[in-house]
């Protein structure tokens, strides 16, 4: 009888994704395109924030948005109405985007033509943090109704984020949300990270987010010259 | 479940590389933060291998608990509700994740 042999592999299952993500970042540097991966729980206000941001910066930066909507093109339409280009990514019902789906999206919009491409990731706080998409920077939105203890429950999301946007500050009086506590919890998970409170509904604070985008975009432009 | 597809593809590649005649079982290690239930992993694995050279093989999942290393005092601990996700040594929440994000194909049990 044949004997079963145990072969030790210890192989990282996500290695191919990590390699492709690095390649994508190098490509984007060459194209002088800034790719922002925007993550949040469902309904935290990703699309509303993007429409506001587009209105604020579309005169300075050429923008496209890649929407990972599961089965509707509602969000893509809202982006186009706001004045940017948009495409719908085919996620096949997946709960996150990976580097492969992202590169396919970049190819089909021809990312070279844009200064800023935003990836609206699938609404989910768990696995989008696991899969490196190849984005230049990661942003996450925490909305007030979700609570100020989210950073404690989803540490990885706050660790991979480069900026945290706190949205729906208009409803703070109705929720038990302590802004200082939220900021302290975020600082704990990711010391030194920038936190930008906004109200996407009214546009309050969007100028701060736009300033962050402009600053980061400038960095990649200077990097290329260096 | 792109994780499952990745495991199957990687195991097929390893089977070829190692020259195994048949795979009886693959063993994966999943970090707790990845948030995948072994029950679903197995269910989707058994679907995904249909029609491949891994059909008939089984999967075993080991969950790796989250371990954090405190930035302040350096001790390692399991962050959870009981300690409010904070360091039991000094109360700080600033920490590096040293385990819990992995997704590893640990072993294949093969027949030659
Ligand atoms: N009160 C309040 N509501 C907001 C704000 N921003 C967004 N909303 C509302 O929150 C809901 C969800 O907003 P979206 O922008 O569609 O959220 P999303 O994250 O893109 O949602 P999904 O793509 O479905 O995950 C909508 O009803 C918005 O009107 C805000 O600043 N304040
Ligand atoms: Mg949306
Ligand atoms: Zn997922
Ligand atoms: Zn400590």
pLDDT for position A1: 58
B17 located within any domain = no
B107 located within any domain = yes
Range of A66-70, A177-181, B33-37 with top mean pLDDT? A177-181
pLDDT for position A128: 87
Mean pLDDT of B68-86: 87
Task: Check pLDDT > 80 for residue A159.
Answer: yes
Nearest CA residue ID for atom 8, ligand 1 = A45
Task: Check pLDDT > 70 for residue B7.
Answer: yes
Task: Check pLDDT > 90 for residue A104.
Answer: yes
pLDDT for position B2: 73
Whether A96 contacts A124, CB under 8 Å: yes
Task: Compute chain B's Rg from CA coordinates.
Answer: 18
Q: Using CB atoms, which residue from B35, B102, B107 is nearest to A6?
A: B107
The stretches of A32-154 forming alpha helices (DSSP H) are: 46-57, 74-82, 99-109, 150-153
State if residue A52 touches ligand 1 by the CB under 6 angstroms criterion. no
Residue B39: give its domain's CATH number.
Answer: 3.30.2320.80
Residues in chain B: 112
B40 located within any domain = yes
State if residue A43 touches ligand 1 by the CB under 6 angstroms criterion. yes
State if residue A32 touches ligand 1 by the CB under 6 angstroms criterion. no
Q: Which residues in chain A are closer than 8 Å to B2, comparing Cβ atoms?
A: 94, 96, 98
pLDDT digits (tens, 9 = 90+) for B30-43: 988 777 889 989 99
pLDDT for position A67: 93
Architecture of the domain made up of A26-225:
3-Layer(aba) Sandwich (3.40)
Task: Check pLDDT > 60 for residue A226.
Answer: no
Pairing state of beta strands B76-77 and B67-70? antiparallel
Alpha-carbon distance of A87 to A33, in angstroms, equals 17
The stretches of A74-161 forming alpha helices (DSSP H) are: 74-82, 99-109, 150-153, 155-160
Residue identified by tokens 């930035």 is B71
State if residue A199 touches ligand 1 by the CB under 6 angstroms criterion. yes
Provide CB contacts within 8 A for A216, sequence distance 6+.
A34, A136, A137
Residue identified by tokens 């925490």 is A142
More confident residue, A226 or B101: B101
Q: For a pocket test of ligand 1, which of A42, A45, A204 has the largest count of ligand atoms closer than 8 A to its C-beta?
A: A45
| Helix, coil or strand: residue B59 | strand
Q: Which residues in chain A are closer than 8 Å to B102, comparing Cβ atoms?
A: 12
For A156: left if phi > 0, alpha if psi spans -120 to 50, otherwise beta; the answer is alpha
| Helix, coil or strand: residue A31 | helix
Task: Compute chain A's Rg from CA coordinates.
Answer: 18
Binary contact (A2, B112; C-beta < 8 A): yes
Mean pLDDT of A146-162: 90
Mean pLDDT of A196-203: 98
Mean predicted lDDT score pLDDT of chain A: 92
ipTM field: 0.83
Residues of the domain holding B67: 2-11+22-111
Q: Using CB atoms, which residue from A2, A7, A13 is nearest to B18?
A: A7
Residue identified by tokens 């005092």 is B73
pLDDT for position A180: 96
Whether A197 contacts A169, CB under 8 Å: yes
Name the DSSP letter for residue B23: E
B6 located within any domain = yes
Least confident of A141-150, B21-30, B75-84: B75-84
pLDDT band at A225 (very low <50, low <70, confident <90, very high): low
What's the domain count of chain B? 1
Mean pLDDT of A23-33: 96
Structural element, H or E, at residue A28:
helix A15-31
pLDDT for position A71: 67
pLDDT digits (tens, 9 = 90+) for A84-94: 999 998 777 77
Residue A44 half-sphere exposure, CB side, CA atoms within 13 Å?
27
Mean pLDDT of B2-23: 91
B28 located within any domain = yes
């Amino acid at each position: 009888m044949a004997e079963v042999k145990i072969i030790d592999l210890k192989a990282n299952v996500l290695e191919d994704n990590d390699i492709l993500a690095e390649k994508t970042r190098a490509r984007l540097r060459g194209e002088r395109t800034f790719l922002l991966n925007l993550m949040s729980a469902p309904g935290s206000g990703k699309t509303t924030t993007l429409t506001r941001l587009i209105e604020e910066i579309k005169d300075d930066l050429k923008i496209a948005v890649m929407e990972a909507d599961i089965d509707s093109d509602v969000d893509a339409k809202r982006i186009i109405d706001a004045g940017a280009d948009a495409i719908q990514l085919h996620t096949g019902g997946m709960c996150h985007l990976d580097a492969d789906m992202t590169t396919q999206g970049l190819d089909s919009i021809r990312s070279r033509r844009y200064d800023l491409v935003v990836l609206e990731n699938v609404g989910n706080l768990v696995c989008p943090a696991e899969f490196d998409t190849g984005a230049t920077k990661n942003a996450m939105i925490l909305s007030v109704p979700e609570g100020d203890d989210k950073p404690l429950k989803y540490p990885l999301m706050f660790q991979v984020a480069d900026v945290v946007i706190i949205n729906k500050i208009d409803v703070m009086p109705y929720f038990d949300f302590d802004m200082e506590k939220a900021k302290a919890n975020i600082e704990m998970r990711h010391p030194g990270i920038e936190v930008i409170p906004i109200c996407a509904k009214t546009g309050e604070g969007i100028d701060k987010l736009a300033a962050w985008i402009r600053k980061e975009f400038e960095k990649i432009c200077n990097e290329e010259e260096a | 479940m792109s994780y499952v597809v990745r495991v199957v593809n990687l195991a097929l590649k390893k089977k070829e590389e190692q020259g195994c005649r048949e795979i009886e079982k693959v063993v994966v290690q999943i970090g707790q933060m990845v948030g995948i239930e072994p029950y679903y992993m197995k269910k989707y694995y058994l679907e995904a291998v249909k029609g491949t050279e891994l059909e008939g093989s089984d999967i075993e999942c080991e969950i790796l608990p989250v371990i954090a290393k405190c930035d302040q005092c350096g001790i390692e601990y399991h962050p959870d509700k009981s300690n409010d996700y904070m360091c039991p040594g000094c109360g700080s929440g600033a920490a590096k994740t040293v385990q819990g994000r992995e997704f590893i194909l640990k072993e294949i049990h093969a027949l030659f």
